[in-house]
Amino acid sequence: MAGSAPRTQPFPRARPVREGALLLAVALAAAGASWAVRSPRLPLRADLAAYELDLGFAVVPAAEAVALFLDNACIPVDVRDDGQAARIPGSVQLRQATFDDDLRDVFDFLSPADPLLVYGDGNLLVAAAVAGRLQERGFTDVRLLGGSIEAWQKAGGQVDGEAAHD
Amino acid sequence: MTEPAAARADDIRRVIPDWMDLLLRFLVGGTFVYASFDKILDPAGFAQSIAHYRLAPDWLLHPAAMLLPWLEFVAGAAMILGRARRGAAWLVILMLAMFMAAIGSAMARGLDISCGCFGTEDAHTVGLSLLLRDLALLAGAVVLAAARGTRRSF
């Protein structure tokens, strides 16, 4: 009886290092291939200076922005999606994904010379993208809030919505 | 008739139910595969996201921006398919440890940046909720590295 029945092949012992190295090699090959076929190619050595935030728009520190707001010298533009309750009072919502529809809703209330202060969740790239769209539409005075709504609140700025009483 | 099962059990140190094995593989692997898409398509944008952390030197930034998304994809796909699964689980653990260290360091330095986790326009700002999400994924990956179901793969 013993030894006569064919044994089911057991799972091979795991070889995590060898497996990991194999997967790494596959990823390296795929990354190398995708780098080679992409045009323009990313240079292998990055120029870090190019990554310093050159957004094409002035970034207003939160404290300065609060002062502008209190002087009625800016109209806040919120680029975040719904569901993030705290907003600067009187904000106009212009989201990147639905920019054209959002702008249509508020277009009558804005004029091209209005000073706009674009803010979001702190990601200045998203804010800058919306600012760029505004500029394309002829708005001439567009600036970005440095930091998120939390930075605004820390600088003493008022907010509407849930987090207003924090 | 029970011998094959016994043989398997001898060879695998820890066995988890098949449904749990499958669920964890899809949750952890699926998250990594999903997270890789945008970044694979836009390595320059992902490099910008990494640059915001101000951790990577110039010689590492672009290679990391090109390799990491593919590593996420390959490890995630291997995990879902059940191939090279312990290796995939360990790679995922290493990546999550690195992500958590980067997020923690950004938080410690007070950087107010988006994480870049799921793509270059990802709106999640680095913070505690992000660390907890990575911690949950890490727990899943550790289970997958240490145990398996009775089925080898699909």
Residues of B in contact with A43 (CB under 8 A): 62
**Is pLDDT larger for residue B134 or for residue B107?**
B134
pLDDT digits (tens, 9 = 90+) for B69-87: 999 999 999 999 999 988 9
Alpha helices per DSSP H over A1-123? 16-37, 62-70, 99-106
| 8 Å CB contact of B4 and A7 | yes
Domains and CATH numbers, chain A: 51-165 (3.40.250.10)
On whether the CB atoms of residues B110 and B123 are closer than 8 A, the answer is: no
H/E segment holding residue A9? none
pLDDT digits (tens, 9 = 90+) for A86-105: 889 989 999 988 999 999 98
DSSP A17: H
Where does the pLDDT of residue A10 fall: very low under 50, low under 70, confident under 90, or very high at 90 and above? low
| 8 Å CB contact of B11 and A19 | no
CA–CA distance, B50 with B68 (Å, rounded to integer):
11
Q: Which long-range contacts (CB under 8 A, 24 or more apart) does A44-48 make?
A: A44/B59, A44/B62, A44/B63, A45/B58, A45/B59, A45/B62, A46/B47, A46/B51, A46/B58, A46/B59, A46/B61, A46/B62, A47/B58, A48/B51, A48/B57, A48/B58, A48/B61
Question: Tell me, what's the ipTM?
Answer: 0.85
Which residue from B3, B43, B57 is facing A42, i.e. has the nearest CB?
B43
Map out the domains of chain B as residue ranges.
Answer: 3-146
| Lowest-confidence segment of A12-21, A74-83, A118-127 by average pLDDT | A12-21
In the predicted model, is pLDDT for residue A77 greater than 60?
A: yes
Which residue from A22, A27, A45 is facing B70, i.e. has the nearest CB?
A27
| 8 Å CB contact of A38 and B63 | no
**What integer is the mean pLDDT of A13-20?**
79
A60, β-bridge pairs: A145
* Phi and psi at residue A110, to the nearest 5°: -115, 145
Q: Which chain B residue has its CA at the smallest distance from A95's CA? A: B123
In the predicted model, is pLDDT for residue B52 greater than 60?
A: yes
Q: Is the pTM of this model over 0.90?
A: no
Scanning B62-91 for CB atoms below 8 A from A yields 62-63, 65-67, 69-71, 73-75, 78, 84-91
On whether the CB atoms of residues A149 and A109 are closer than 8 A, the answer is: no
